[in-house]
Chain A
Amino acid sequence: MDRGVTATPVRTKEIDKVAEAHSPLAQFEIKRLVPIQIGDLDASFTNSALFMVFTVVLVTIFLVLGMRRNALVPGRWQSMAELSYIFIANMVRDTAGPEGRRFFPFIFTLFMFVLVGNMLGMVPYGFAYTSHIIVTFSIALIIFIGVTVVGFAKHGIRFFGFFLPPGTPLLMAPLAVPIEIISYLSRPVSLSVRLFANMLAGHTLIKVFAGFIVSMGVFGFVPFAFVFALTGLELLIAFLQAYVFTVLTCLYLHDALHMH
């Protein structure tokens, strides 16, 4: 941008636009591919929406076509599909308990949606919709509301007892209850920010180092090595964050079902 300082105002704007395109944050830009307006509702089909549709298609292909032969002894693809199913089924059983089985389709969807979203961000020219706080927060909010509803549906008014951990002296209640309530209410925030920040930071970091490759000329191999290593790390984080997101959801579900 320094280069634009001495240029004419018109050129400055142009260069700003170019600089913006190379900015580490440019990759998160939402582009309206198909503007759709329903009344006052802006339902434009954006690049984010495109990758969400990709996710649906990919997961469906992965699971439905993977299981199409329905073999007793699974092949590689079917084995992977089954493995993902068993992985989440075990997670739900171990973390949320046997009663959590009813919520398995939702948890499985959640895991796949977040995992594939994270992974699509690692594909060149890809877009990680999970790097947008509004997406992760919406999902977290749905989970938060859903879990709270489950808690009240199962325990009724006694679910308020959740805010006073068992064994707490009554003298401590004025202190413990507000802390518990705040911690409960901050769940969707921490859940969504954790995923969003991880994705944002990872992709930004890669982009920053990738920018150095060209600007450092001959020594560009140093940041290139960094980018190479970071890509591996990011793949790990993409999986890990999807896992953490899902495990925490199961944990919240467990709290709602069993109250501690």
Chain B
Amino acid sequence: MPQLDVSTFLPQVVWLVITFVTLFLIMWKVAGPRVGNTLETRQRRISGNLDKAAGFKKEAEAVLEAYERAMNEARAEAGQVIAKAGAELSEKVSRREAELAKRLTAEIAESETRIEKAVSDAINDIGQVAVEAAGQVVRKLTGEDADEGAVGAAVDQAMKTRP
């Protein structure tokens, strides 16, 4: 069995040590770090990209939030404007109503005074007319002019008794 040939042990061990140490040094100083660096770089790149993606996502969320906030603000402002316009409108309407009411009352009052005046004028005129009529009636009946003062007093008295 060649494995038990002791004379071959030494050269095998010597070259085992030489080659193993050489390979170890290559692995330790060259090959290992090279592979390790590549893997690490890749890992860093991937996690960096993931971080970047997370950052973008956060940014997008912030933009969305800002948009929603702006939207809400605009909505609130619009509501305010609408309410203000409504208030203004109703105020104007009530003012106009008040103005109209005032004008109508003034007109009614004026009309009433005019009617009253017309009524009193009419009453006065009736007195005059009655005096004239009574004077003419007297002239027709008597054939002579009646005393105006007496006729006027009689008419006045008649009008007082029969309102």
Contact check: which of A41, A55, A74, A133 meets B19 at CB < 8 Å? A55
- Give 19 CB contacts A-B under 8 Å: A25-B2, A42-B10, A42-B11, A46-B11, A48-B11, A48-B15, A49-B12, A49-B14, A52-B19, A56-B22, A60-B31, A67-B34, A67-B35, A109-B23, A112-B23, A134-B8, A134-B13, A135-B13, A139-B20
- List residues of B whose CB falls within 8 A of some A CB: 1-5, 7-20, 22-24, 26-28, 30-32, 34-39, 41-42, 45
Give the interface SS of chain B, mostly helix, strand, loop or mixed.
Answer: helix
Interface string of A29-65 (1 = CB under 8 A from B): 1101000100001111110110011011001100110
Task: Enumerate chain B residues within 8 angstroms of A45, measured Cβ to Cβ.
Answer: 11, 15
Task: Enumerate chain B residues within 8 angstroms of A139, measured Cβ to Cβ.
Answer: 16, 20
Knowing A86-B39, A132-B3, the reply to whether A64 touches B30 (Cβ < 8 A) is yes
Interface residues on A, range: 35 or more
B38/A55 in contact, CB under 8 A: no
Task: Enumerate chain B residues within 8 angstroms of A71, measured Cβ to Cβ.
Answer: 38
A64/B31 in contact, CB under 8 A: yes
Residue on A nearest B30 in the bound complex, by CB: A64
Give the interface SS of chain A, mostly helix, strand, loop or mixed.
Answer: helix
A28/B31 in contact, CB under 8 A: no
- Binding stretch for chain B, among A2-10, A100-108, A217-225, A233-241: A100-108
A70/B12 in contact, CB under 8 A: no
B47 to chain A, nearest CB (A): 13
B69 to chain A, nearest CB (A): 41
Residue on A nearest B35 in the bound complex, by CB: A85
Q: How far is the CA of A44 from the CA of B5 in the complex (A)?
A: 15
A134/B9 in contact, CB under 8 A: yes
B34/A43 in contact, CB under 8 A: no
Q: Which of B26, B31, B34, B39 lies at the interface centre, i.e. has the most chain A CB atoms within 10 A of its CB?
A: B31
Q: Which of A187-233 contact B (CB under 8 A)?
A: 196, 200
**A186 interface residue per 8 A CB criterion:** no
Task: Enumerate chain B residues within 8 angstroms of A36, measured Cβ to Cβ.
Answer: 11
- A-B residue pairs, 3 tightest by C-beta: A49-B15, A63-B31, A52-B19
